[in-house]
Structure 1
Amino acid sequence: MFASVIVSITASDVNKIFEYKIPEGLTDMIKVGHRVVVPFGPRQIQGYVVDIKDEVDYDPARIKPIIRALDVEPVLTPELIRLAGHLADHYIASYISVIETILPAALKSRSKKMLSLDNPGGEASLTWQGMNLPPEVEVKKLSTSQLAALKPFIASGEVTEKTVLTQHTKQKYARALKPTFAPRGDFGRAHKQLELLDFIEQHDEHVLLSVVLENGYTAGTVNELVKKGYVERIDVVVDRDPYKSRVFEEDLPKALNREQQHAYEKIKHAVDEDIPETFLLHGVTGSGKTEIYLQTIAHVLDKGRTALMLVPEIALTPQMVNRFKARFGDEVAVLHSGLSHGEKYDEWLKVRNGGAKVVVGARSSVFAPVEKLGVIIIDEEHETTYKQQDRPMYHAAEVAKYRSRYYNCPVILGSATPSLESYARSERGVYTRLELNHRAVTEALTETKIVDMSIEHRNGNISIVSEALKEAIEERIRHGEQTVLLLNRRGYANFQICQSCGHVPNCPNCDISLTYHKAQFSLMCHYCGYEDAVKRECDSCGSDEVTFRGTGTEKVEEVLKDMFNTDIVRMDNDTTRRKGMHEKLLNTFEQNEIPILLGTQMIAKGLDYPNVTLVGVLNADTMLNIPDFRANEKTYQLLTQVAGRAGRHELSGEVIFQTYNPDHYAIELARSNDYRAFYDKEMAFRRLARYSPYYFHVLFTVSHETVQKCLEATTHIHKMIVDNVTDRAIIVGPSPSPIERINNQFRFQILLKYKNEPNLLEVLHEINLHYNELYKKEKLSLKIDVDPKYIM
């Protein structure tokens, strides 16, 4: 028997399958999906079994055997292995990089070089003992002189060098007490021991020692029972469950209105008939899309199948988890980057072992090792966070559709503001569109106003808060209601500027100005993380006439506190870095009835608070100025989504957009919540400019520390593309990227637009292979982004 193995090396020249012999003792154990340790040259490395066969095409005597298996059960299912191959091909990535993206970080191996004395006795033994070394020693712990002294014995084989592989995170164990049920003797006056023994024997298998101590028993009492043979100490696996101490009130299914019922029945039919249909659930904010998700999943579980539920932002996860845990209890596993490696590993194990039937999480949850999938749901499907920005640059929706075809189950893409690509597919019948045009709980009208900030400034108001918004906030505070304010820019000020010479401090590594953060009293780059102290004098002319311009959330928080004399909850990347802060801040806002929640786009979607009756957007123009063809779409989506946070229950809501472009159609149509009009207007622009969804895109980005190398590489790539595509394709570039330098790397790009290019995939792989080799020699990096979400 032979195993086809992908080894854990990302180099392009080993991005292929290697054959290994399965030793006789392992033939019944090793299956497709197992992690194994294999010899690779002089090393031992981790690999993944992707196929098992009876014969190979070359001399079996030359094939090395697998050393050992790392797991009792395979970590990958055959379906996930097939998926990895598909994604590697489609997104121009290495097979192993996709496999390691699919698996939790805890399963990635760490290696260490170990030396041991092979044959005690002789000169090697004397040298070893003279250094006072343990039986095995890690190479990196030896001094240079020690290693030099042992080198001859390594060469002669008297000292053995081997590689030991371990994984990042293992299962967590805890001490427990197990009753032996031995016949009881006379306890005399040891009443506490007898009481404790009764307590332990109530748990037939075991009880955690921590639970015993929490119930008031002492370690001394435990020791006496162990000594008498009534109890034995054991170690048991425990789950690192981030929700273990939480109590969720049961949430019963709610009655569906006519629109919800129609959508549910359509999806239910696809579930019952095993149809891999993709539904676009287009529902206005507050229309009850989540209740449809919940009832669909309940139906799937009744059929003995499983469900995947994806949300775009970690900030959305707490409320979504609450609803799912309240409806489905312990059958829910949660997977997102906010969990520790250990917590995520335990949740992953729970899913793989069948202990959870419903998975809720962010983008990478689409790879959860669930089997018998009955439905995959992607909420807020328009969000760009579903696209991975690092290799492999996959999109979660494409992964979901592939898995749905494998399991013959439907995919639900839900959004109040669908991506133009998804809506266009629903227009052509590729997706089945289901419309929810009315709010589920209330029909209370939400009034939306646009405030022209240029008029405000002409009237003498130079504050970031318009008079209309100020009055509306004051009214909410008087009535004990809450306000959500959006400013999609963190930090205190956009930049520091010298009023004498106009000098603006820039990041030394990137072509971008540094942002002022008052709390740290520093200037920071939001691209590479560079940080510099604020200087009182200009670096260019020495003047002390330095000031700060622009406004971020940190400064606005200060302004609002002074203006309204009230508490503020601020949510941005600076306040949510620590684990659990998303949920903590949202709970503070809701439970303490803080009047104002201020944040970046992480607060714009998914939040559902009955007391929020006012939403204010402090600068509706922020995303309009991005040099990207999706700028108008992103602006419309963000404004519509955040507007939907107001008046979601019995109380009516009000929305105020502050802008310098009151007549821009993205802002005007967000005010009237007219998605169809926006779609028609934006599609006309896309058709004229020949952008998606009328064309597919591939973005090539070359990075190097010199401009010349970038130009040479992009010129070469341009020629390769021209030589291998039809004259119907459109090639834009080579040109500098909108941000030309990041982290001391100059960046040039080419954008390919096409409709149908039969040879394209082959050409992309050829280009990628060429520049993988070039990276080793010249550190010139190429990223090929298929279907990019950012042209930046």
Structure 2
Amino acid sequence: MTVARIIVDIPSMQTDKPYSYRVPQALLSLVAVGSRVHVPFGRSNRLLQGFVVELVEEDLPSLKEVAAVLDLEPVLNQEQLDLVNQMRKTVFSYKITLLKAMLPNLLTSDYDRLLRPNQALDPTDRLAIFGQAEQVLWSQLPAEVEGQVVSLVKAGLIDLAYIAKDKKTIKRLKSYKVDAAYLAELVIAPRAKKRLLLREYLLAHPQGLLSDLYQTFSRDQVHYFRELGVLFLEETEVNRSQLYFEGVTKSERLTLNDEQAEVLEQLKDKIGQRSVPVLLQGVTGSGKTEVYLQLIDQVLTLGKTAIVLVPEISLTPQMSRRFIARFGQQVAMLHSSLSDGEKFDEWRRIKTGQARVVVGARSAIFAPLENIGAIIIDEEHESSYKQESNPRYHARDVAVLRANYHQAVLVLGSATPSIESRARASRGVYDRLSLTQRANPAASLPQIELVDFRDYLGQQAVSNFTPRLLEKIQNRLDKGEQVVLMLNRRGYSSFVMCRECGAVDQCPNCDISLTLHMTTRSMNCHYCGFQKGIPQICSNCRSSTIRYYGTGTQKAYDELLQVFPQARILRMDVDTTRKKGAHQAILERFGRQEADILLGTQMIAKGLDFPNVTLVGVLNADTAIHLPDFRSAERTFQLLTQVAGRAGRAAKAGEVIIQTYNPQNYAIQFAKNQDYEGFYAYEMPLRQRLAYPPYYYTVGLSLSHAQEEVVMKQAYEILDLLRQYLSPQAKILGPVPKPIARTHNLYHYQIIVKYRFEAGLETVLNHILALSQSPEQKGLRLSIDSEPQHFL
């Protein structure tokens, strides 16, 4: 008999292995490796979703049977299944979690909930979860809904997004058509002037979009002609991704300079060869993107496909437009700002081979492409490539595995590579190529000036801006040039404090101060979402001497308006970009020079290319430099260098003003001189002395519980296990409370393991993972993070 090995949808150590099920004769032609199925599980035989990872021939008649097949064709290929097994060794998440991470949410719904017989569900929603093949659907639909869905089922493949009829899942375009002959004969009373006008409009426009009618005529007027039978409405399904292609002018390849041409030839030679990652280190504005485009052009010519990763959602629209302009409909996008339906649309285009170039954020590394020729990770140093929630994978590590499988060229591009990547390049683990000059021969690297805040104490009219920076901004406004200003804080004020007793208004659920937001006139917690009104009196001493301290983009925006009331200012941070498409709308306005100043958080620091920007201002370079994290100096250097690179990218010379209280700090000094190699040489001995990457690997274990004594006890038990399994050479830090020790009413402790070679590490971490799920550990949350990017 045919036996299917299936990973079931229960994330636990006990179920982190395939279970065997007999494939019934009726489903033999449908069950395939990579398919989703429903199987009875446990004593109750409740139906669970599962993934078929292997098919074998065995004689095991006592096995339970596969109950249903959810896909006419497999949703995962063999490479992705192999990838899960490889990732499981270093990403301490269960296999089912890794499998589901590779698929759009519409294919990984809560099937157990949907299958409950008493669950109140729209029959079309219930149908949508059962897959795509008619012959399968009829063998599986619950009897109470079978009769209701007859009219919906069509032969062959059923469009999942269409059947779901969910506004978030599908976009419908409503249009109209007119029976012109009937309408021309229709008699309308002379006094019905609106109806006469609508008739004339319809005769002149016998078909079009319904939305156009509603701009001029009321719904009652339109309904009148529908009732008479001269106006007909119809709906058309529209692929949301089609909107991204509208208005994009096709671009032609640019002429490369000698450096770019040499880099491109070396990258081309690596396509189809044994994969060795290539660190492409190029100064800001050196034309790395054009190299990427021409490399992918070669990949497509060879009949292969490509993945391009970018770190920020804000970069995705600008980057994707460049790729669409070059490769048209062959481009698909995958990132978190898309709705579930949009992600499903794009996934389906990739899966069917309609899209051959995938541009997106971290999760796009799992795109179901075949025959990959190139994987490009732009701004490879960015920590956003590491997922901070389960499964905690790093896109760069997954890219290495996929590039090896396909013999694809893997390009890691950055003006400021991560210390780890630069060290691997120095040891020959990575190849290294360089671009040392800006692609535009008329452009030069900007001049950078440090301004010491301490020199202007008592002289500042507004808190965020020194007179020196204000002078430079006024100069650019007078010339009709543009300014980019960065402050790495959103909101209006960092905290609210009582000047009488010193009490700070804190979140009741977290050990952190609340942030003032003037637009909503509220105090917000950026961790748990708690919100309340702005206090008028101190809750501790009842004093009315409440004052606002710190700064934020909203406050900086208000101060700019105060000093430059004539200036057109755009603000770009998390608060102003919540609405879908807001990132792109703000950047397009700035690109059309509809604004003089773009003020934002670090999302404006990377990838933006505006030729009229001649001044960049960093309002405070110190916001991250003293955080308790060994990467603080590196991140400060990278951020300052990246944001400085937004200035002077065309013929006009650029200038950068960096305001700081610590002008002698080495990260700020090296950023001022745009000296990456100097920073790297200075930072490496510090990392070696402190036993941090790239000299040591790290693993972070975080424990959380509502009771502090419980989480402390469990942390020390885990410490004992680590000491038992690991060698004396491993360095174990902690357990200690995390810098922000309580959030969401949970207490957090952490342990950091630093090691070089530890044969027992995987075993003990899996053992700890299993222990955390025992009944005795109820309420305990444990996360294991290999190579954590943050220690806060």
Write the mapping of 1:167-206 to structure 2, written as runs, cut at 5 A. Answer: 172=170
Tell me the SS of whatever aligns to 2:270.
helix
Q: Match of 1:129? A: none
Partner of 2:643: 642
Aligned to 2:526: 526
Q: How far 1:190 sits from its partner (Å)?
A: 7.0
Name the TM-score, length of structure 1 as normaliser. 0.86
Structure-2 change in CA distance of 1:532 and 1:302 (3 Å):
same
- CA distance in structure 1 between the partners assigned to 2:27 and 2:238 by the alignment: 29
Q: How does 1:219-298 map to 2 (within 5 A)?
A: 238-241=238-241, 243=243, 246-271=246-271, 273-298=272-297
1:494-509 map, 5 Å: 494-509=494-509
Structure 1 position 20 matched with structure 2 position 33: no
What displacement does 1:139 show?
Answer: 6.5
Q: 1:140 to 1:360 in 2, by over 3 A?
A: closer
CA contact (8 A) 2:362 2:384 kept: yes
1:365-514 mapped onto 2 (5 Å cutoff): 365-441=364-440, 442-457=442-457, 459=459, 463-514=463-514
Does residue 757 of the first structure (1) align with residue 758 of the second (2)? yes
Root-mean-square deviation over aligned CA pairs: 3.1
Q: Following TM superposition, by how much is the alpha carbon of 1:388 offset from its aligned partner in structure 2, in angstroms?
A: 0.3
1:98-127 Cα distance to aligned partner (Å, 9 max, x none): 1111111111134477999xxxxxxxxxxx
CA distance in 1, matches of 2:708, 2:110: 37
Q: Which amino acid aligns with 2:470?
A: K
On the 8 A contact 2:460/2:467 being kept in 1, the answer is: no
In the alignment, is the contact (CA less than 8 A) between 1:110 and 1:167 conserved in 2?
A: no
2:53 aligned with 1:38, yes or no?
Answer: no
Per-residue Cα deviation, 1:288-315 (whole angstroms, up to 9, x for no partner): 0000100000000000000000000000
* Letter of the structure 1 residue corresponding to residue 11 of structure 2: T
Question: Comparing 438-447 with 602-611, which one deviates more in the overlay?
Answer: 438-447
User: Structure 1's 493 and 234: CA in aligned 2 closer, same or farther, altered over 3 A?
Assistant: closer
Note the C-alpha offset of 1:587.
1.4
Residue 370 of structure 2 aligns to a residue whose secondary structure is: coil
SS of the aligned residue for 1:602 comes to helix
Hey, what's the Cα distance between the residues in 1 that align with 2:226 and 2:742?
65
Counterparts in 2 of 1:615-654, with a 5 A limit?
A: 615-654=616-655
CA distance in 1, matches of 2:111, 2:100: 16
Q: CA separation of 1:512/1:137 partners in 2, compared to 1, >3 Å: closer, same or farther?
A: closer
Q: Quote the offset at 1:211 in angstroms.
A: 6.0
2:443·2:652 contact (CA, 8 Å) conserved in 1? no
Distance in 1 (alpha carbons) for counterparts of 2:173 and 2:738? 57
Verify the 8 A CA contact 1:114 1:161 in the aligned structure 2: no
Alpha-carbon distance in 1 for matches of 2:63, 2:226: 56
> Take 1:77 and 1:192, find their aligned partners in 2: how far apart are those partners?
59
Unpaired runs of at least 5, structure 1: 117-135, 142-159, 178-186, 194-208
**Pairwise mapping of residues 656-735 of structure 1 onto structure 2 (< 5 A)?**
656-735=657-736
* Deviation per residue, 1:428-476 (Å, 9 max, x gap): 0100000111000134341100000011116566632111111110011
In 2, Cα distance between the equivalents of 1:2 and 1:293? 45
Distance of 1:115 and 1:260 partners within structure 2? 57
Moved more, 73-82 or 634-643: 73-82
Q: 1:352 to 1:361 in 2, by over 3 A?
A: same
Q: Could you tell me whether the CA contact under 8 Å between 1:333 and 1:350 is conserved in 2?
A: yes
Equivalent position SS for 2:285: coil
* Residue in structure 1 matched with residue 189 of structure 2 by the alignment: none
| Equivalent residues of 1:115, 1:139 under 8 A apart | no
C-alpha distance in 2, partners of 1:695/1:114? 47
- Could you say what secondary structure the match of 2:457 adopts? helix
Please tell me the residue identity of whatever aligns with 2:533. Answer: A
Aligned length: 723
Question: Tell me, what secondary structure is at the counterpart of 2:621?
Answer: coil
Question: Once the 2 structures are TM-superposed, how far is the Cα of residue 578 of structure 1 from its aligned partner?
Answer: 1.2
Q: CA deviation at 1:567?
A: 2.1
Query: Deviations 1:582-611 (Å, cap 9, x if unpaired)?
Result: 111111222243111000000000100011
Question: Could you tell me how far apart the structure 2 residues matched to 1:729 and 1:37 are?
Answer: 44
CA distance in 2, matches of 1:785, 1:139: 39
Contact 1:314 1:362 in 2 (8 A): yes
SS in 1 for 2:89: helix
Question: Per-residue deviation at 1:45?
Answer: 1.8
Any idea what SS the aligned residue of 1:626 has?
coil
Structure 2 counterpart of 1:701, which letter? Answer: S
Deviation at residue 416 of structure 1 after TM alignment: 0.3
Q: Provide the C-alpha distance between the structure 1 equivalents of 2:223 and 2:245, rounded to a whole number of angstroms.
A: 24
Amino acid at match of 1:789: Q
Equivalent-residue separation in structure 1 for 2:73 and 2:121 (angstroms):
33
8 A Cα contact 2:47 2:112, kept in partner: no
Match of 2:52 in 1: 49
Deviation, structure 1 residue 25 = 2.1
Give 1:425 deviation, angstroms: 0.2
* CA shift for structure 1 position 85: 2.1
SS in 1 for 2:625: helix
CA deviations over 1:135-176 (Å, ceiling 9, x no partner)? x864699xxxxxxxxxxxxxxxxxx99999998967748699
Runs of 4+ in 1 over 3 A off after TM superposition: 110-116, 136-141, 160-177, 187-193, 209-216, 218-226, 233-238, 458-462
Q: Where do 1:129-168 residues align within 5 Å?
A: 138=119
User: Which residue is 2:9 aligned to?
Assistant: 8
**Deviation by residue 1:696-742 (Cα, 9 ceiling, x = unmatched):** 00011111111211211111111111111111111111111111111
Q: Is the 8 A contact 1:312 1:385 kept in 2?
A: yes
Say which SS state the counterpart of residue 251 (structure 1) adopts: coil
Task: Identify if the C-alpha distance between structure 1 residues 260 and 285 changes in structure 2 by more than 3 Å, giving closer, same or farther.
Answer: same
Letter in 1 for 2:342: E
Runs of 5+ unmatched residues, structure 2: 123-141, 150-158, 186-205, 214-221
- Structure 2 equivalent of residue 125 of structure 1: none
CA distance in 2 between partners of 1:696 and 1:25 (Å) = 51
Structure 2 residue matching 1:109: 3-state secondary structure: coil
> Do the aligned partners of 2:5 and 2:52 also contact (CA within 8 Å) in 1?
yes
Note the alpha carbon deviations across 1:333-354, whole angstroms, 9 max, x for none: 0111111111111011000010
How far 1:192 sits from its partner (Å)? 9.4
Residue 359 in structure 1 maps to residue 358 in structure 2: yes
Mean Cα displacement is larger for which, 577-586 or 295-304?
577-586
